[in-house]
Chain A
C-alpha cells in the first residue's frame, strides 16, 4: 500500500483520526449525493421535458435546444468545479480536525 507522507504535526491519536475520517467521509458522501441529484435532474429534465420547453426561447434558441446543446454541459462543468472546490475545503477541515480536534 502506498505510504502517505508524514503529517507536519505530532501524530494525533488513532481515535481522533478515525473520527475525523468518518466525519470527512459522511460530508463527502452527502456532497456527492447532492451533486449527483443535480446531475440527474439536469440530464433527465432536459430530455424528458424537451417538448414542453421548446416553445420558450432564450436569445433566439428554443430553450430545449439550448439546454441540450450547451446548458446541460455547462451545468455538468459547474458540478465538477463545485465538487473539486468543496472537497478541497473538506480536506482542509479534516486536517484542522486532526490538528486540534474540532
Chain B
C-alpha cells in the first residue's frame, strides 16, 4: 500500500514540475516577443529578478510548515529523483555556475581538478556516509556524531556526547558560514549587474526570497524550491551552450561537439604564441615587470624617490595652472602612492607579478601540467592531485549536503538519490569544459585580430558593467589598432554571463542566465542557512540547553535563529569581505579534515571511541588551520614555507590523514567504546527490513 501511495505522490510531483517547465518556456517566449517589441534591457532584468523571487516565495508559502519532521527533514518522503535534483541545486553554488567555466577558460587543464574533485566526492558520500546517516534517521550531522561517540543513553548521547556535538556544530558553522557569505555576495553582484540596483539592495532582495522560503517551510519548502531552481539552472545553462556548440561544431550536444574544436584551438594557440605582434605586446608587459623589479631592488631609496617625484608632479601641475583634471590626476596619484616602504614592496611585488603573468604566451589549453622543467611540471601535478583529494573529502563532509541524506523515504532511496544527484550535477559539469573551450575558440579567432573600431557590442557592454572591477578590459597596448590576445584581460566571471551575447543570442537569454546564477546562489544559500540554524536550534538549543522543549517551541526557535543568521550573513556580505571570499575554497579542506575521519570511522570502525573522535576532529582542524596560516599570504603566511610545494587551499591533504591517524591512535590508547555505541554501529550497518 505504501508503495502505491509513494508512486502516486511521485507522479503528482512530476506533473507539477512538468507544468512548471512548460510555464518557464512560455515565460521565455513571451519575453522574447516583448524584447522584439522594444522592451528595454533593464526591464527584462527586473522582470526576471522579480518573477523568480516571487516564484520561490510562492513555493515557500505553499510548503509552509511547523511540524518538526517536515521542518527538519521534509517529512522523510522526498522521492530519490527529486531529492537528487534538490541536492544538485544545493550543491551547484554561485561559484560553480558563474565562475567555473571562467576558471576553466583561464587555467585550462589545471582547472579540471574542480570537475574531478567535486564529482568524485559523491562516491565517498554514497559509499561511506549517506546510507548510514539515513539508517540512523535523526536530523543533523552532529546528531550522528554525538550519538555514536557519546554512548551513554540511546540517541541522546548525554554529557559525553555533548562535547562531540559542540565540536561538530562548530565545524558546521565555520564551514557553512564562509560559504553562505560567498553565496549572498554573489546574489548582490548578479542583482546589481543585471538590474542596476545597488549592491546592498540586491543582497537584501535576495535575502527576502531566501527567508520567505526557508523561514516558512524549512527543509520541506527548500526542497521543492530547489527542484524548481535546478530546472532554471539547467535551462539557463543549456540554451546558450547548445547554441554555441551548433555555431562552432554543427552539433547540438556540446559535450560531444567540443572534441572537434579542441585541435583547432590548439593550432590557434601555437600560432598566437609566435605571432610577432603578440610578442611585441608581451615584451611591453615584460619591460614593465622589469621596471618594478628594478624599483624593488632599490628599496627604500626608490620609494622615497617615487614619492618626491609624485609630489613634484603635483606641485608642477599646480604651478603652471594646469587644467583641473590634470591636477586631480596628480593628486590621486600621490594619494594612491604607497605610504611606507613595506607597503610599496608589497604593492610592487603584486604589480610585477601581474605584469609578468601577462607577458607569458598562452598556455596550451588541453596540455596537462606544462612546466619549464620536469620538477616544475611535477609540482603542478602534485598540486592538482592534492586539490582533487581535498575537494573530494570536503564534499563528503559538507553538512548541508549530508543533511539531505535524511530526507528520503528509505536507505535504498538514499543510495539512488546520490546517483541522481551526481547525474544532475554532471549535466552541468560536463558542459562546463565544453563551454570554456567553445568560448575560448570564439575569442581567439573572432575577437583577436579585429580592429578596435569594430569591437563586438558585448565587449563594451561588459567592460562597463562593473566600473570598479572590470569584467573584461581591452586596451591597445602597442597602438596598432588591432586586438591582440595579450591585450585582453578577462575576469573568469564574465564567461558564463556573456556567453549568450558572444553567441549572438538576444538579451532575453542573458537575463535567463542571470536568473540561473541567482537560482544557483539562492538554492545553496537556502541549504547552508538551514544547516547552520538547525545546528544551532536542534543541536545546541534542544539537545544541550533545553531538552524538554515542546516541538512547537523547537521549530519557532529554529525559525528565529535562521532569521538572525541570515541577517548576520547578509551584513557580512554587504561589507564585501575580500578575505572571507578568498577562503571559500578552504572550507572544503576544513570540512574534510574535521568531520570526515569521525564520520567514516563512526560507521566502519567499531573500536573508534569518544576520546579518539574528539582528538581526531581537533587534530584535523588544527593541522588544516595551521597549514593555511603558515602558507597563505592573505593570512600572513608565506608560500615559501609550504610543505612539498602544496598550495594552502589544499591544506586538507595534511589535515585528513592527521585527523584519521590521531583518531586511530587515541582510540586504541583509550578504553573501547560502550555497548550502546557498538549497538548503534550494528544498527546502522544492518539492512532495512522492508
Contact across chains for A21 and B685 when beta carbons are under 8 A apart: yes
- B367 and A54: CB pair below 8 A? yes
Are A69 and B433 within 8 A (Cβ)? Answer: yes
Specify the main secondary structure of chain A where it touches its partner.
Answer: helix
Q: Does A7 contact B (CB under 8 A)?
A: yes
Residue B412 at the chain A interface, CB threshold 8 Å: yes
**A80, CB-defined interface residue at 8 Å:** yes
Are B259 and A51 neighbours in the complex by a CB distance under 8 Å?
A: no
User: Is there contact, CB below 8 Å, between A73 and B377?
Assistant: no
Residues of chain A contacted by B123 (CB below 8 angstroms):
35-36, 39, 76, 79-80
With a CB–CB cut-off of 8 A, which chain A residues contact B547?
none
What A residues does B127 contact at CB under 8 A? 32, 35-36, 39, 79-80, 83
Q: Which of B367, B419, B430, B682 has the most CB of A within 10 A?
A: B419
Do B430 and A69 touch (CB < 8 A)? yes
Contact with A along B661-690 (1 / 0, CB 8 A): 000000000000000000010110111111
Residues in A neighbouring B430, C-beta threshold 8 A: 69-70, 73-74
CB distance from B426 to the nearest CB of A (A): 6
Q: Is B126 an interface residue (CB 8 A)?
A: yes
Which residues of B from 389 to 441 have beta carbons under 8 Å from A?
Answer: 389, 392, 412, 415-416, 418-419, 422-423, 426, 429-430, 433
Give the nearest-CB partner of B108 in chain A. Answer: A65
Q: Note all chain B residues with C-beta closer than 8 A to A80.
A: 122-123, 126-127, 415, 418-419, 422
The verdict on A43 contacting B120 (CB below 8 Å), with A68-B109, A80-B419 known, is yes
Give complex CA distance A66, B123 in Å: 20
Nearest Cβ on chain B to A94's Cβ, whole angstroms: 5
Is there an interface contact between A87 and B689, defined as CB atoms closer than 8 Å? Answer: no
CB distance from B689 to the nearest CB of A (A): 5
Contact residues of B between 115 and 141, Cβ < 8 Å to A: 115-116, 119-120, 122-124, 126-128, 131, 137
Q: Which of B115, B128, B263 contacts A73 (CB 8 A)?
A: B115
| A49-94 interface with B by 8 A CB criterion | 50-51, 54, 58-62, 64-66, 68-70, 72-74, 76-77, 79-81, 83-84, 87-88, 90-91, 94
Is B112 part of the binding interface, using a Cβ–Cβ cutoff of 8 Å?
A: yes
Q: Are B381 and A51 in contact (CB under 8 A)?
A: yes
B388 with A47: CB separation less than 8 A: yes
B163 at interface (Cβ–Cβ under 8 A)? no
Contact of B423 among A59, A72, A77 (CB under 8 A): A77
1/0 per residue B228-272: CB within 8 Å of A? 000000000000000000000000000110011011000000000
Query: In chain B, what residue has the closest Cβ to A18?
Result: B682
Give Cα A62 to B109, complex, Å.
11
Interchain CA distance A36-B255 in the complex, whole Å: 27
Report whether A51 and B392 are in contact in the complex, using a CB–CB cutoff of 8 Å: no
Residues of B within 8 A of A7 (CB): 689
- Residue among A44, A58, A64, A91 making CB contact with B687, cutoff 8 Å: A91
Partner of A60, one of B263, B389, B688: B263
Interchain nearest-CB distance for B126 vs A (Å): 4
Instruction: Compute how far the CA of A5 lies from the CA of B687 in the bound complex, rounded to whole angstroms.
Output: 12
Kindly state the separation between the CA atoms of A29 and B606 in the bound complex, as whole angstroms.
Answer: 14
Closest to B680 in A: A1
- Most chain-A Cβ atoms within 10 A of its Cβ — which of B416, B418, B687? B687
Determine how close the nearest CB of chain B comes to the CB of A12; give it in whole angstroms: 10
Assess whether B689 is in contact with A74, with CB atoms less than 8 Å apart.
no
CB distance from A28 to the nearest CB of B (A): 8
In the assembled complex, the Cα of A43 lies from the Cα of B115 at a distance in Å of 11
Cα distance A48–B649 when bound, in Å? 20
The answer to whether B583 has its CB under 8 Å from any CB of chain A is no
B368 in the interface (beta carbon within 8 A): yes
B572 at interface, CB cutoff 8 A: no
Residues from chain B with a CB closer than 8 A to the CB of A59 are 256, 259
17 A-B pairs whose Cβ atoms sit less than 8 Å apart in the complex: A1-B155, A21-B687, A51-B369, A60-B259, A60-B263, A69-B115, A72-B116, A76-B120, A77-B422, A79-B126, A79-B127, A80-B127, A80-B418, A80-B419, A83-B415, A84-B415, A84-B416
B residues at A contact (CB < 8 Å): 109, 112, 115-116, 119-120, 122-124, 126-128, 131, 137, 154-155, 255-256, 259-260, 262-263, 366-369, 377, 381, 384-385, 388-389, 392, 412, 415-416, 418-419, 422-423, 426, 429-430, 433, 604, 680, 682-683, 685-690
- Closest 5 interchain pairs by CB? A60-B259, A50-B368, A68-B112, A84-B415, A73-B119
Give A contacts to B, CB under 8 Å: 1-2, 4-5, 7, 21, 24-25, 28-29, 32, 35-36, 39, 42-44, 46-48, 50-51, 54, 58-62, 64-66, 68-70, 72-74, 76-77, 79-81, 83-84, 87-88, 90-91, 94-95, 98
- A47-B384, A88-B412, A88-B415 are known; give 6 further A-B pairs, CB within 8 A: A5-B690, A43-B392, A51-B377, A61-B366, A80-B122, A87-B131
